[in-house]
């Protein structure tokens, strides 16, 4: 009876955390569209509480528009924009901020409930409380990112953008991992298949280690992609596989000190993103081939096959986004698939690690 009750609690926690993952995924997608449509600087103030309501009257709309007209983006890029055009970009940024608040509530309210009903262990409650704190910090980082574009240069800092996107992926990964652990408790999952090659063997340990390397490599690629987005490096070279006739373009290290090129030189940023994509794809391909030597469980085998499919689609999306000069639809899907790639990788890493317990 006690085990059944524990399983019921774990089931509720797992469903809740997986739901939070869906909300974060939507946030990443909305954030990508907001950035690509250059709507992120339309709201020039940060009001965590009162900002939950949009303007209702024409007077309120005019007040918001007047504030925007004083911003560098309007003065240097959108001079002459009318109120109706402003409403278009305002609503995208408003929906993005509203989705962030809603995601926070979807996480916080059940968390308080589960803690009050003693349905979470002390360690899990602390971990989830830490994740919620990260979510709050993410809102602060998002505002500083917007604020960086409200000064002289009407572009958000690529450093703040990379920080903001990386935190979104990190928070998603942490929530997804806790969801998987709750799911394991719910299903009382057996960690080792009787037909599986013993996990203490060196080849299996190498497979497990490779999955961790892939996870880190995917996360690094996300950061590199954020710098591509933040510097508009995707528009610097729109040919493939060469970069305007050369596989290794000129001007990779024009800036001093040399390391600044990886963050501010659009040629180096796009080149690095391309090269790291080749590395990640090759690593995943080798991982999938090697994994065929092991008699893995069906869910794990399916996940590994899915990983290969997702990375192929992601590469194709990246190439298409480049060749078509970064259209909003393709670029947004490309960002969402990056999160899906991370999701599958986390699942595989978690499943392989579970065999060692």
The confidence score (pLDDT) of residue 189 equals 52
Q: Determine the Cα–Cα distance for residues 144 and 163; give it in Å rounded to an integer.
A: 10
Q: pLDDT tens, 103-127? A: 999 999 999 999 999 889 899 999 9
My answer on whether 10 and 141 are in the same domain is yes
The confidence score (pLDDT) of residue 191 equals 45
The confidence score (pLDDT) of residue 204 equals 83
Examine the fold and report which residue of 170, 189, 208 is the final residue of a domain before the chain moves on. 189
Please give the model's pTM, rounded to 2 decimal places.
Answer: 0.92
Q: pLDDT tens, 45-73? A: 988 887 889 999 999 999 999 999 999 99
The DSSP-derived string for 122-172 is: HHHHHHHHHHHHHHHHHHHHHHHHHHHTSSSSSS--HHHHHHHHHHHHHHH
In the chain, the N- to C-terminal Cα span, in Å, equals: 25
My answer on whether 55 and 159 are in the same domain is yes
Per-residue pLDDT band for 7 (boundaries 50, 70, 90) equals: very low
The DSSP-derived string for 247-295 is: SS-S-TT-SSSGGGHHHH-HHHHHHHHHHHHHHHHHHHHHHHHHHTTS-
Examine the fold and report which residue of 142, 168, 189 is the final residue of a domain before the chain moves on. 189
Please give the residue range of the domain that contains residue 15. 1-189
My answer on whether 295 and 348 are in the same domain is yes
My answer on whether 267 and 347 are in the same domain is yes
My answer on whether 242 and 341 are in the same domain is yes
My answer on whether 108 and 241 are in the same domain is no
Question: Pick from 179, 156, 135, 123: which is nearest to 226 by CA?
Answer: 156
Q: Are 160 and 141 in contact (CB under 8 A)?
A: yes
Two tokens at 118? 């003693």
Task: Tell me how many domains the chain contains.
Answer: 2
My answer on whether 5 and 154 are in the same domain is yes
My answer on whether 223 and 323 are in the same domain is yes
Give the CA distances from residue 180 to residues 15, 218, 238, 332, in Å, rounded to whole numbers and listed in that order: 10, 19, 40, 27
My answer on whether 215 and 246 are in the same domain is yes
My answer on whether 136 and 203 are in the same domain is no
The confidence score (pLDDT) of residue 357 equals 46
Q: What is the DSSP code (8-state) at residue 238? A: -
Q: Angle 266-291/298-323 helices, nearest 10 degrees?
A: 150
The confidence score (pLDDT) of residue 223 equals 97
Length of the chain: 357
Residue 193 has pLDDT above 50, yes or no: no
My answer on whether 247 and 109 are in the same domain is no
My answer on whether 215 and 162 are in the same domain is no
Average pLDDT score, the chain: 91
Q: pLDDT tens, 138-192? A: 999 999 999 999 988 889 999 999 999 999 999 999 999 999 999 988 887 544 4
């Amino acid at each position: 009876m006690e085990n059944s009750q524990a399983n019921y609690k774990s089931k509720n926690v797992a469903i809740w955390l997986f739901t939070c993952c869906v909300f974060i995924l939507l946030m990443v997608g909305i954030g990508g569209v907001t950035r690509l449509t250059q709507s992120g600087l339309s709201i020039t103030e940060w009001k965590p509480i009162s900002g939950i309501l949009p303007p209702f009257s024409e007077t309120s709309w005019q007040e918001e528009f007047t504030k925007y007209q004083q911003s560098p983006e309007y003065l240097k890029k959108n001079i002459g924009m009318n109120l109706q055009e402003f409403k278009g970009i305002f609503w995208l940024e408003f929906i993005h901020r509203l989705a962030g608040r809603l995601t926070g509530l979807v996480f916080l309210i059940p968390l308080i409930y589960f803690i009050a009903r003693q349905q979470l262990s002390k360690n899990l409650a602390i971990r989830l409380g830490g994740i919620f704190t990260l979510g709050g910090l993410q809102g602060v980082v998002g505002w500083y990112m917007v604020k960086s574009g409200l000064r002289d240069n009407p572009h958000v800092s690529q450093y703040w953008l990379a920080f903001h996107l990386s935190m979104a992926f990190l928070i998603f990964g942490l929530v997804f991992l806790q969801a998987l652990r709750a799911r394991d408790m719910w299903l009382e999952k057996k960690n080792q298949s009787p037909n599986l090659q013993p996990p203490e063997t060196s080849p299996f340990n190498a497979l497990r280690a490779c999955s961790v390397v892939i996870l880190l490599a995917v996360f690094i690629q996300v950061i590199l992609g954020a710098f591509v987005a933040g510097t508009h490096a995707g528009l610097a070279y729109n040919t493939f596989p060469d970069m305007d006739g050369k596989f290794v373009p000129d001007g990779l290290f024009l800036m001093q000190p040399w390391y600044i090129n990886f963050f501010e030189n659009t040629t180096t940023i796009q080149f690095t993103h391309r090269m790291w994509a080749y590395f990640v794809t090759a690593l995943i391909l080798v991982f999938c081939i090697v994994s065929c030597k092991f008699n893995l469980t069906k869910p794990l085998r399916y996940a590994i096959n899915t990983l290969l499919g997702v990375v192929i689609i992601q590469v194709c999306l990246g190439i298409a986004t480049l060749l078509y000069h970064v259209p909003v639809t393709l670029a947004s899907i490309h960002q969402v698939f990056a999160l899906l790639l991370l999701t599958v990788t986390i699942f595989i890493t978690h499943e392989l690690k579970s065999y060692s317990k």
